[in-house]
Structures are given as structure tokens and as C-alpha cells.
């Protein structure tokens, strides 16, 4: 309450081996890989739900 708040430390860091072209390529690869994984997994839950409803419907008709 009566004490000063600690200030955040500021660092001046310059990377030694920075290549902007390489950095952009790595960023693009990560984005493409993320988009591919999101796109691949989007249909799986829908398929599981459809199969579950189909099994439930078949059990319902079989047990009546």
C-alpha cells in the first residue's frame, strides 16, 4: 500500500543472426501448417455424431 510498484524491466536485445526472409518463411510455414490441421480435423466430430445417431436409430427400431 505504501510501497512503490515494481517497474517492468526493459531489455534492448538485437538478434545476432536475423534474416528477415527466413523469418517470413518460418511464419508462413507455421500458418499453413495450422490451417491444414484445422481443416483436417473439422469433419471428424460431424462424422462421429452422424454415426452415433445412426446407431441409436437402429437400436431403437430393433428393440421395438
Condensed to tens digits (0 to 9), the pLDDT of residues 11-53 reads 888 777 878 888 888 888 888 776 666 555 556 678 888 999 9
In Å, what is the CA distance from 25 to each residue of 17, 33, 34?
A: 15, 12, 14
Cα distances from 46 to residues 37, 50, 55, in angstroms, run: 16, 6, 14
Reading the block at residue 33, the C-alpha cell is 501448417
Please state whether the predicted TM-score (pTM) of the whole model is above 0.95: no
What three-state secondary structure class fits 4? coil
Count of positions (residues) in the chain: 64
Amino acid at each position: 500500500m505504501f510501497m512503490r510498484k515494481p517497474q517492468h524491466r526493459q531489455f534492448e536485445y538485437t538478434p545476432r543472426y536475423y534474416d528477415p526472409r527466413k523469418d517470413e518463411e518460418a511464419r508462413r510455414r507455421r500458418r499453413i501448417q495450422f490451417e491444414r490441421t484445422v481443416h483436417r480435423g473439422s469433419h471428424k466430430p460431424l462424422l462421429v455424431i452422424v454415426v452415433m445417431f445412426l446407431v441409436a436409430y437402429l437400436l431403437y427400431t430393433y428393440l421395438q
